[in-house]
Structure 1
Amino acid sequence: MTVVDRPQRTRAPRAATLVREHPLVAFFTLALGLSWLAWTPWVLSRNGLGVLDFSFPSVLGTTQFTGMLPGAYLGPLGAAFVVTALTTGRAGLRVWVGRLLRWRVAPRWYAVALFAVPVAVLSLGAVASGGDVRAPGLLLVVSYVPLLLLQMLTTGLAEEPGWRDFALPLLQERFGPLGAAAVLGPLWGVWHLPLFLTEWGSWPDVTWTAVVVFVAFSALFNVVIIWLFNRTGQSLPIVMLFHVSLNNTVTVFWAATFPGVGGDELQRWLLLGAAVAAAVVVVLTRGRLGLPRGTAPLGGAPVRSAGSPV
């Protein structure tokens, strides 16, 4: 019995050891793998490829809450929790959760998170539409804040504790800010790929160029998010607000305000805006993306020194 039981007793510790030795590989593997696995029924349902003869329940006019959200939570958020618990235990989890609760930052960063993206998106829309701008209805204006809060609890909470809270500090310590951006941004974009086979990605009216543009946009928008994360002392609420401000502005205002600008054209203009913003951030920070030259040990908050970059 002793000989037979021995492999069973060593299997779990070996898996835990691999996670501790390769936390980033473990995180990205779990984040993508768990989400993609959980999204498979939605992709195969009538809300996607139509291979399976059933549909997901609709909530607020969309099946994303029932089809997409569980996998989104399970992937980045779940992977970050598991890998943090296995690699750094309770102390690491306290640091990880601490960034999620880091609300006390200078008011100007709330202004940046809440207004910079909507102003930029609506400005791009005005240019893209050639001046054909319609006033949004009162109901849309009133719905903006409630939907923003909903996005914080869905998209923001599902994604940012994984991509920026867990992965980004590790990546920046290993590869520096630009190296971290080069790794994290494309992987963040690739994580969304199965969603293009569902109503989220307007399936079946989706092209491969739209997918490429989206991944490129994700990589460039990520550069700006990293700058904001570093400049606010790794405040995740600010990053979440910044991220979901984009989603919410497009969802609430774009179609009604710029009816002549379709989804593919919208994504190309967003790519252009993200490229300009990322270039400005890289140039002004000299590639540091807001990360101070003297930083705390892995997982801790950065220590700002006098004369640190933007």
Structure 2
Amino acid sequence: MYPYIENIKKHPITAFFLIAFAISWIIWSIPLVIPLNTPAYMMLICVIGAFGPALSAVLIAKLLKPAQIAVPRWKNILRFAVLFCIILPFALFWPMLNGSLADPVFLLLCSILAALSAFVITRIFSRTVGVQDLMRSLGQWRVKPVWYLFALAVWPLLLILSSVIDLLYSGQSFSTYISGMESIRPLSAVILFFTILLIGGPLQEEPGWRGFALPRLQFLFNPIVASIILGFFWQFWHVPLYFTGFYPFDMADIIARFVWFLPGVLIVTWLYNRSRGSLLILVLFHASIDAFPQILPAQTANAGNIFNVLLLILAVIFVFTDKMWKKRTPVPDNSQSKE
């Protein structure tokens, strides 16, 4: 047995963060070495690099429980091929990419993105016990309807409510905001949501952050402490994007990201525990967080601050109603760790 494999098995949480950061940061550093003047290239490098957490989790889960399951290889190859064909058009025609189909580099990067998404999804049917344990809940759709409702509705409702409160408090007219709501095209909104769901972040991150790291952290700490630890690394993971030009370099924005991460990460932890560790619900919630700010009308002047306050209130309610200061048994069977 290689010594590094033994170290990974002894310290899976540390190994997860190190490998996840290494994969993402190495890919995200490409624009520092190779100038990428095309926004489409920058976006593709960003979302491909975001697979670091998921790939790290899959790798370590395989090392922790390497036993094999009798799953016909051809079935997984077929599943992968079908998913790749479904996901590739979303990558090719994502308006935010705005690339040229005649550009071979653009086509290659889109194909890599679609292949990685298909790979992560098909890990539900992995031949390895550890990986299947990690990803199983992503394919289990029989979850209480209330969690689907929460995952899909809470974030847009908070966005709308924050703008409504701002308009009421300032005495401004609702006409502009209402016209913005009326201009929403349902089909475009659905396509955008599924694009983000499949290639925009949720599948890249949640199998790692919540599928792998969170249950193991909750085995060691209570949900609040586990959320703070995970949230810090989650936010720190994004920092290189400020230096590569994907995010505008703004120190105030970087500081705000670290200050305001806690309410959001506590809500996600609460949802994870309440939905009994459903990766499907967490992926949908993540997609909702990323998609609805682009679907709904632009927030009013002070709506951002009001939104943060509403988020904080919701997090406090969940902390007290769920007694998140008390340590609890992690949901997944493979979450125990001697980190």
Residues 113-124 of structure 1: pairs in structure 2 closer than 5 A = 113-124=151-162
CA shift in 2, pair 1:57/1:287, >3 Å: closer
2:137 to 94, 99, 102: 99
TM-score with structure 2 setting the length: 0.71
1:197 Cα deviation from its structure 2 partner: 3.1
The corresponding residue for 2:5 is 16
The corresponding residue for 1:250 is 293
Could you say what secondary structure the match of 2:65 adopts? helix
The corresponding residue for 1:153 is 198
Q: Which amino acid aligns with 1:71?
A: G
Q: Deviations over 1:18-37 (max 9, x none)?
A: 11010000001111221111
Measure, in 2, the Cα distance between the counterparts of 1:111 and 1:220. 20
112-121 or 214-223, larger mean C-alpha shift: 214-223
Measure, in 1, the Cα distance between the counterparts of 2:325 and 2:13. 21
1:266 Cα deviation from its structure 2 partner: 6.2
1:299 aligns with 2:296: no
CA-based RMSD of the aligned residues comes to 2.6
CA shift in 2, pair 1:97/1:295, >3 Å: closer
CA shift in 2, pair 1:142/1:296, >3 Å: closer
Q: Which amino acid aligns with 2:263?
A: L
Measure, in 1, the Cα distance between the counterparts of 2:144 and 2:6. 40
Could you say what secondary structure the match of 1:180 adopts? helix
Q: Which amino acid aligns with 2:242?
A: F
CA shift in 2, pair 1:121/1:293, >3 Å: same
Measure, in 2, the Cα distance between the counterparts of 1:142 and 1:185. 34
Measure, in 1, the Cα distance between the counterparts of 2:184 and 2:20. 37
Could you say what secondary structure the match of 1:287 adopts? coil
1:241 aligns with 2:218: no
Measure, in 2, the Cα distance between the counterparts of 1:79 and 1:298. 16
1:82 aligns with 2:59: yes
The corresponding residue for 2:70 is none
For this pair of structures, how many residues does the alignment match? 267
Q: Which runs of 5+ in 2 are unaligned?
A: 67-127
Measure, in 2, the Cα distance between the counterparts of 1:101 and 1:288. 30
Measure, in 2, the Cα distance between the counterparts of 1:150 and 1:188. 22
1:111 Cα deviation from its structure 2 partner: 0.9
Measure, in 2, the Cα distance between the counterparts of 1:184 and 1:24. 10
Equivalent pair of 2:219/2:328 in contact (CA under 8 Å): no
1:282 aligns with 2:260: no
1:185 aligns with 2:216: no
Structure of higher RCO (CA pairs closer than 8 Å, 6+ residues apart): 2
1:54 aligns with 2:36: yes
1:232 aligns with 2:275: yes
CA shift in 2, pair 1:70/1:275, >3 Å: same
Q: Which amino acid aligns with 1:272?
A: V
Q: Which runs of 5+ in 1 are unaligned?
A: 1-9, 46-51, 301-310
Measure, in 1, the Cα distance between the counterparts of 2:245 and 2:306. 22
1:296 Cα deviation from its structure 2 partner: 6.6
